[in-house]
Amino acid sequence: MATAQAQRPLTALREAARSTPPGPSLRTALAAPGVGVLAEVKRASPSKGPIAPALDAVAQAEAYRRGGAAGVSVLTEPSRFAGHLDDLAGVAGLGVPALRKDFIVDPYQIWEAREVGAAAVLLIVAALDVGQLADLHAEARAAGLDVLVEVHDAAEVEATHAIGADLVGVNARDLRTFEVDPGAFARLRAALPAGAVAVAESGIGSPQDVRAVAAAGADAVLVGERLVRAADPAAAVAALVAAGASIVAGASTVAGASIAAGASTAAGASIAAGASIAAGATTAAGASTAAGPGDATAAPVHATPSEPPVSDPTATSPPAHGDTSAASPPAHADPPAGRTTT
């Protein structure tokens, strides 16, 4: 990055970047009904080593697009993830919302992303101090980019409130051990800022995993290694998208059944009530005839409407988890001092 800045200072980069419109909103795409899939392009990771060294970023992203991905996350960090800014430029050129995934520590990286047509950048709370996080978040918003703010624990969640984050990712992978905690998203979800789009990161490898985090309140999932290793990445994405859509469909079915049941109950109650009135009127008339004028001992008998049917809440419960041991997306580590990213 130092070399790039020496060749073109930040002020010049900003001016050039502003002439290029940012990509379509990633936040809007992930907030759509269902569980949005943010599919990742990466060739390697610190925890797994080389994954797909010869991966064509644009071809991979095009497959994700065909499968229905809401957006594409592109690793641009070269030393640990074998990524490059050119990968981001190529993917953004497809017209999909593209996220620059890197150790963003300088405004220069934000404007590089804007210049090549990215829609968003990643800020990792664990890699920044409070002041850096606030400044970089504000810089990205000024550049017209969405910001995916990544957290790992409750203390980091507090920082998202302070900066007004509206797109927050919960990474279930421990940065020190690289272990994945399947319960991390569910544990932190309620503490995220109100109205923020919530993204579950790491440990998502199957439709069952998507359903599980959706049940915990996820709006979207970020999936990397599972898709990079898939023989048919378009089909793999489509399966995850379908799992997220089934959550919405199931909810709609339950809601519709409840409305229908309610309507049936109301109709039944009306019929029963009408029948009661009619029956009561007949009984009263008969009683009056038999007892004679002035006899008030006869009274109508009212029918009782039946109880409404109760929907089975287990109908939309997600299936048990499958084995996801080989499907973890990349972990993040603190950026090394003086690292050059471009």
pLDDT tens for residues 189-201?
999 999 999 999 9
pLDDT value of residue 1: 81
**Residue 162 confidence (pLDDT) above 80:** yes
Domain containing 90 equals 2-249
Most confident of 117-126, 281-290, 298-307, 308-317: 117-126
The per-residue pLDDT for 269 is: 41
Residues 133 and 274 in one domain: no
SS (H, E, C) 61-78: HHHHHHHCCCEEEEECCH
pLDDT of the residue at 250: 54
Q: What is the CATH number of the domain that holds 127?
A: 3.20.20.70
Assign 319 a pLDDT band (cuts: 50, 70, 90).
very low
Domain boundary among 249, 277, 302: 249
My answer on whether 183 and 85 are in the same domain is yes
Residue 200 shares a structural domain with residue 303: no
Total count of domains within the chain: 2
Asked which of 249, 268, 297 is the last residue of a domain, the reply is 249
Mean pLDDT of the chain: 80
Q: Is the pLDDT of residue 238 over 50?
A: yes
- Give the residue from 207, 122, 133 showing the smallest Cα distance to 171: 122
**pLDDT tens digit sequence for 206-220:** 999 999 999 999 999
Query: Which pLDDT does position 137 carry in this prediction?
Result: 98
Does 292 lie in the same domain as 216?
Answer: no
Query: Helix or strand or coil: residue 174?
Result: coil
140 and 289 part of one domain: no
Q: With the C-alpha atoms ordered 277, 281, 282, 283, is the resulting torsion angle positive or negative?
A: positive
In a domain, 341, yes or no: no
Q: What are phi and psi of 206, to 5 degrees?
A: -145, 165
Instruction: Tell me the pLDDT band of 176, cut-offs 50, 70 and 90.
Output: confident
Same domain, 170 and 144: yes
